[in-house]
Amino acid sequence: MMKISPNEGDQDPRWFAFTVGLPVTHGWPELIWFGLPLDTMAKILNNAVHELERKGVSPTPHLELTGVIEGSAA
């Protein structure tokens, strides 16, 4: 998981996080998330990868994951 920002500050809204290596390890595209606190974005991406692995599916357009954000179908 990589976390990227143009500035040092943790509160900069331009922070984003993305996966690294999914094309090699799973044959999937990388996943990316913008606009939330760094730890939240990292947790969401990790949860998404774990759910995809558990379900044995690849990320596709309009795929709904239900275990990524507690209390939400996201």
Cβ contact 41:33 at 8 Å: yes
> Does some domain include residue 63?
no
> Does some domain include residue 25?
yes
- What would the DSSP string read from start to end of 6-71? SSS-TT-TT-EEE-SSHHHHTSPPP-EEESS-HHHHHHHHHHHHHHHHHHT----TTPPPSSSBTT
Q: What is the pLDDT of residues 3-54, one digit of tens each?
A: 666 666 556 667 888 999 999 999 999 999 888 888 888 899 999 999 999 9
> Does some domain include residue 13?
yes
Residue type, 55: K
pLDDT reported for residue 39: 84
Q: How many CB atoms lie within 10 A of CB 45?
A: 21
> Does some domain include residue 8?
yes
pTM score, whole prediction: 0.78
26/66 Cα distance (integer angstroms): 20
